[in-house]
Amino acid sequence: MAIGYTLITPSSQIIINQDRKDETFVFFALRSELQEKMALRSSVILLAICLLYQLRTSNGFSWDDCSATHEPVTFREISIGQDPVQLPGTLQYKVSMHLSTSLSSMTAEVTLYRKFLFWWKLPCFDPSICQIDVCELSTSACPFNSGIISSSGEMELPRPPISRTWLRGYYSATVILKSYGSKVGCVNIYFNIDA
């Protein structure tokens, strides 16, 4: 005949059973409510720290020139008409750059990233935004002569087919300028998107 009883302590549940063939043995079942509450609190605190870090590192519009020293294009000024950028919407822009040599054509390859704790590379949802003919955007005619080149204008931005909640956030765009397949300049642009 088996005799069993349960002893409950604040930190764990201990089940003690006595079998007719065996001596008394103790089976510990780790079902501590205190441990479960501590794990839940730790998860909430970790999530709060991650969200605060995300908010702290999300800034407004900015840019930095990532051109190599031997490349002919260096950026002097980049500005946009609104921050955050509205999607869909019309983006007004102004770009000023210095060319150390003349270039007969230029294309821009744009790679987008979104920040959510870390930078995540995004797929190109519209090829017309990821591959841009700079000659078509520029108020200066191609070819580009050496010296300072300034351009301003407007660009229509579509809204990608995703939820507004997922669309809002802090983004970066790495723009690689190329002339006949060779890299001639680079710029990183940081901005917020609202939808």
Given a cut of 80, whether residue 58 has pLDDT beyond it is no
Residues 14 and 105 reside in one and the same domain: no
Residues 74 and 43 reside in one and the same domain: no
Q: Which H or E run contains 41?
A: helix 33-57
Radius of gyration of the chain (CA): 30
Count of helix runs (H) and strand runs (E) in the chain: 4, 13
What letter would DSSP give residue 75? E
Residues 82 and 175 reside in one and the same domain: yes
Residues 80 and 164 reside in one and the same domain: yes
The structural domain count of the chain equals 2
Given a cut of 90, whether residue 64 has pLDDT beyond it is yes
Q: Of 40, 57, 74, which closes a domain? A: 57
Nearest to 162 by CA among 118, 119, 112, 117: 112
**CB-based contacts of 54, cutoff 8 Å, min separation 6:** 115, 116, 117
Q: Which domain covers residue 15, as residue numbers?
A: 3-57
Six-digit token string for 143: 């070819």
Residues 161 and 134 reside in one and the same domain: yes
Task: Give the mean pLDDT of the chain.
Answer: 78
Could you give the CA distance from residue 103 to residue 179 in angstroms, rounded to a whole number? 7
Residues 105 and 175 reside in one and the same domain: yes
Please, which pLDDT band fits residue 53 given cuts at 50, 70 and 90? low
Q: Of 20, 42, 57, which closes a domain? A: 57
Matching residue, tokens 């509450």: 37
Whether the Cβ atoms of residue 114 and residue 193 lie closer than 8 Å to each other: no
90-131 pLDDT, tens digit per residue, is: 989 999 999 999 998 899 999 999 998 889 999 887 777 789
Residues 133 and 183 reside in one and the same domain: yes
- pLDDT confidence of residue 133: 87
Nearest to 100 by CA among 75, 123, 120, 128: 75
Given a cut of 50, whether residue 153 has pLDDT beyond it is yes
Residues 36 and 74 reside in one and the same domain: no
* CATH number for the domain harbouring residue 74: 2.70.220.10
- pLDDT confidence of residue 34: 64
Q: Of 34, 57, 80, which closes a domain? A: 57
Of the candidate ranges 2-6, 62-66, 83-87, the one whose mean pLDDT is the lowest: 2-6
Q: Is 165 helix (H, G, I), strand (E, B) or coil?
A: helix
Given a cut of 90, whether residue 70 has pLDDT beyond it is yes
Given a cut of 50, whether residue 189 has pLDDT beyond it is yes
Residues 25 and 75 reside in one and the same domain: no
Residues of the chain with pLDDT > 70, as a percent, come to 68
- pLDDT confidence of residue 42: 67
Residues 103 and 171 reside in one and the same domain: yes
Residues 106 and 127 reside in one and the same domain: yes
Query: What's the pTM?
Result: 0.67
